Amino acid sequence: MAIAEAQNEVITTADGVPLKISLKKALWQRKKTALLLVAPLFFFVLITFLIPIFDMLLRSVDNSIVAEQFPTVVVEIRNWELNSTELPDEATFQALFKDFKAGAIEKTISRLGRRLNYELSGMSSLFRKTARKIKKVETPESATETMIALDKKWGKLETWRLIKRESGKYTSSYYLSAVDAKKTSDGSISMKDEDRQIYLGLFWRTIKLSTAITLLTIILGYPIAYLMATVKTKTSNLLIILVLLPFWTSLLVRTSAWIALLQKEGVINDILVAIGVLSDDGRLAMIHNETGTIIAMTHILLPFMVLPLFSVMKTIPPSYVRAARSMGATPFTAFRRVYLPNTIAGIGAGGILVFILAIGYYITPALVGGTKGTLISNFIAHHISSSLNWGLAAALGAILLALVLILYILYDKIVGISNMRLG
């Protein structure tokens, strides 16, 4: 009986609250405090990273401007077949006249002309010319004849097939352009003419140069990091300062310095000519090409390889190599079998960091790369700031993002992302 009463007795805290409830409240309070501490970082990442990526992915397929400017045409043209050999009916032309005149009066129709001009050259001028004339035209009895009289292109099937293809809310045209493909007049997909193919070559050049830069930073950075990790602390600190010294100088200044060094009349060529290595007519072309991009970007990105390597090498006990040597291993064998495997995590971390930074660089390639050393990021910047083709820029950016994710997955499969350490 006494045992049963003891079991039924509720344990309480000093203030009379049941202990179970009090523990739950304390646990919830700790969780709430942790959430409040993490919340600023979460919202920062959300606003500056996740939302822009989502917006980029949305812009790469967004085609709402057609439905906004041609709301009646989009409805009427649904009944017209894409492979038809006849023009749309009078009702569709009436809808075109109505929507076009409204857009011309509001001065918004030229935006649609620019959008369709990405798919078919001449559409922008067609829309501007028609917009100037249509304001003075009253509602006609025959919209078909009126629109063709304004411009003969309204009587061509390719114009209407383009409007039909792009009448949806979403489009794949930007992604097709990003891989040098296009939709033909009958809706099928084909590659662009060879002299109009740009982006596949640029993607290949970006991957090729980024890989070369990553390998060069590993080759140059490994001995530097090894030296920093094995010398005395005082000397190591001095070397760290020298590695970080470029960060104290503007990126633009460092790139401009390479222009002065690498050009045909630059410092390096002058020295080589002065010591007789080169003739004055045989100066090396080291700028406005892939060579200039690789040299300048290797110098700029080298610290991003050295620092992860150094932080990992610093944690490797020297006794590992000494133990291998004491068991008969040569210095090279001890390095290859003992020291190098322990630095793989640093090589992987530095390699991914340098590669991702390299494929996204555009200032340095734009200044020293010329037409042969620019990367895909330069064309993304061009479409955002100059041509204003944000859809194509977003599609190129999305493909670049996919390449980075593929690299991440491959690294995880081969090395294991859990083995990547920055120190």
- What percent of the chain is modeled with pLDDT above 70? 94
3-class SS string, 241-259: HHHHHHHHCCHHHHHHHHH
pLDDT at 137: 87
pLDDT at 74: 92
Residue with tokens 């322990």: 342
Does residue 185 surpass a pLDDT of 90? no
241: which residues sit within 8 A by CB, 6+ positions away? none
The string of pLDDT tens digits covering residues 40-91 is: 988 998 898 889 999 999 999 999 999 999 999 999 998 898 888 899 999 9
Decide if pLDDT at 4 tops 50: no
To the nearest whole number, what is the mean pLDDT of the chain?
Answer: 87
Residue with structure tokens 């350490």?
421
For 147-192, give the DSSP string: HHHH-GGGGSHHHHHHHHHT-SSB-SHHHHHHTTEEE-TTS-EEEP
C-alpha torsion 322→326→330→336, nearest 10:
-50
Q: Angle at CA 388, nearest 5°, toward 152 and 390? A: 105
Cα 94 to Cα 144: distance, rounded to the nearest angstrom: 7
With tokens 């009646």, the residue in question is 72
Residues contacting residue 382 through CB under 8 Å, at least 6 positions apart: none
**Whole-angstrom distance, CA of residue 123 vs CA of residue 165:** 14
Cα atoms in the Cβ-side hemisphere of radius 13 Å centred on 384? 15
Look up residue 38 and give its amino acid: V
Q: Where are the domains of the chain?
A: 2-59, 64-196, 199-419
pLDDT at 370 over 90: no
For residue 43, give both structure tokens.
């919202």
How many other CB atoms are found less than 10 A from the CB of residue 269?
A: 22
Rounded to whole angstroms, the Cα distance separating 390 from 59 reads 7
> Quick one: pLDDT at residue 113?
92
Contacts of 181 (CB under 8 A, 6+ apart): 189, 190, 191, 192
pLDDT value, residue 101: 92
Q: How far apart are CA 212 and CA 204, in angstroms?
A: 12
What is d(CA 54, CA 1) in angstroms, rounded to the nearest whole number? 66
The tens digit of pLDDT for each residue in 6-16 reads 445 667 766 66
Contacts of 152 (CB under 8 A, 6+ apart): none
pLDDT at 186 over 80: no
User: Would you state the pLDDT for residue 95?
Assistant: 93
What pLDDT does 2 receive? 44
Class of domain 199-419: mainly alpha
Quick check: 230 pLDDT over 80? Answer: yes
Count of Cβ atoms closer than 10 Å to residue 32 Cβ: 10
Q: Average pLDDT of 321-334?
A: 86
The 10s digit of each residue's pLDDT in 147-166 is: 999 999 999 999 999 999 99
pLDDT at position 26 is: 80
* pLDDT reading at 422 higher than 80: no
Instruction: Give the pLDDT score at 62.
Output: 92
Query: In which band, very low, low, confident or very high, does the pLDDT at 293 lie, cut at 50, 70 and 90?
Result: very high
Task: Specify the pLDDT at position 286.
Answer: 86
Element counts in the chain: helices (H) and strands (E): 23, 2
Count of other CB atoms within 10 angstroms of residue 14: 6
The set of residues, in sequence order, having a beta carbon less than 8 Å from that of 257 and lying 6+ positions away, is: none
